[in-house]
Amino acid sequence: MSARADQPRVVAMGGGRGLTATLRAARRYAAHTTAIVATADDSGSTGRLRRALRIPAPGDLRRCLAALAGAEDEPLGQAMEYRFSGTDVEGHALGNLLLAGLTAVTGDFLAATDCAAALLGLDPDRGRVVPATLEPVDLSAVTSDGTRVTGQYAISKTAGIRRVELSPPGVKPPDGLARSIQDADQVVLGPGSVYTSILAAALVDDLHAALASTRAQLVYVCNLEPEVAETQGYDVAAHVDALRAHGVEPDLVLVHDSGLLPTGDVGVPVVRSDLVRSDPQYGTAHDSVKLAAALAAVLT
């Protein structure tokens, strides 16, 4: 393994709980990790704050900050996930409110994210969590029968998706974020929802261009099984084809070796490995220790 592979710079892109597994994995083998987090979520506490305050979605950032900082089992990391009940802030996660409050005080969503990272003890020399865009953005989809669906949550419940896009068009990432993709040794997409997490981040214009031109190894970590509606009936190849249809071309696909997905004709190397743990709260999920070993092993 080369010196760069021994001390790689890793970019992880996506959203949801899948990205947190990759960030926990990256902490084990990467010299520096940049998390690029989708901000199009419009559901739950996140959606309420977006509509009320006109800020990007804070929910996935909240989770990713605690994961990359290694603070998920610490009191502050656990408090970030605490949801209020029986109060005027019913249903809101503390971490979402913290990011919203920091944005109001600083006037800058990226500064708010960096402040929250510092509170959680994230060493900036080891990693950074960055929103894919600093302006509110929505996701829309067109299905195979021509139906247009608007909103990330609605899309996640829709079958037969042909294409997704961001609105407004031409939305930009924070300054320098595309450069982190250019300078990386490895870019990891997923695991997570192909349309509503990975592409919701990857379609930001400058990031999309950087993915196409980077010399980094581009690894797609495939989901363990199809998602109800969004990717119902997909095999591994169909997941990769969805990325390709949007101009995202992985160099390699990492798949759980005894998963529920047939392979199909993927067209790029597929590496199968044991990647699973049984989570008592969420069921079967990617194991960050196993995922770290697999991602480090393919980086040669």
For the chain, percent of residues with pLDDT exceeding 90: 89
pLDDT at 4 over 80: no
pLDDT at 239: 97
* Bond into 168 cis (ω within 30): yes
pLDDT tier at 282, thresholds 50, 70, 90: low
Q: Which domain holds residue 60?
A: 3-298
Q: What is the pLDDT of residues 120-143, one digit of tens each?
A: 999 999 999 999 999 999 999 999
C-alpha angle 113/116/119, rounded to 5°? 155
pLDDT tier at 3, thresholds 50, 70, 90: very low
pLDDT at 1 over 70: no
pLDDT at 55 over 90: yes
Cα dihedral 25→31→36→37 (10° resolution): 40
Supply the CATH number for residue 221's domain: 3.40.50.10680
Residue 210, classed as helix, strand or coil, is helix
Q: Please provide the average confidence, as pLDDT, over all residues in the chain.
A: 94
- Nearest CA-CA partner of 121 in 66, 78, 60, 82: 66
Provide CB contacts within 8 A for 174, sequence distance 6+: 110, 130, 131, 133, 134
Q: How many domains does the chain have?
A: 1
Measured between alpha carbons, how far is 81 from 72 in angstroms, rounded to an integer? 9
- The amino acid present at 300, given as its one-letter code, is T
pLDDT at 37: 98
